[in-house]
Amino acid sequence: MTANSVLKNMFKLSQKITVYIPATINIDQEIDNTEYVNRAATLLSECFGGATSCQAVGYWVSPEAGLVKENTTQVFAYAADEDLKKHLDKVVNFCMEIKKELNQDAVALELNNEMFFIE
């Protein structure tokens, strides 16, 4: 039996959605983002059956502060097409909530290798 024949008979999750959780408030004041990571992981798990997180460092240029380096956590899930359509609004609304709570200019949401900035 080949890998192709095995995979052909399996269900697949062809959509990937990632929320980038900042670890700063305002422009560059570091915070513990654990609460927000847990909220994102819970939401994505409820909507899509599971989630994974990984640490990253992001950079951007602020007109006021210059180069800003910040820790961030990527929380992502793979989803079936119909589940993504059903739950995408919930994820976008979550991004708007944490943008406001963390006083961010935007929160990044990646969908299938395309980046959206939720402002």
Q: Residue 84: what pLDDT? A: 97
Q: Rounded CA gap, 75 and 72, in Å?
A: 10
Which amino acid makes up residue 111? L
Q: Residue 18: what pLDDT? A: 98
Per run of 10 residues, the mean pLDDT along the chain (length 119 residues) is 72 93 87 97 98 94 84 97 97 97 93 96
Q: Residue 89: what pLDDT? A: 98
Question: CB within 8 A of 89, min separation 6: which ones?
Answer: none
Q: Residue 28: what pLDDT? A: 74
Residue 44 burial (CB < 10 Å; 0-12/13-18/19+)? buried
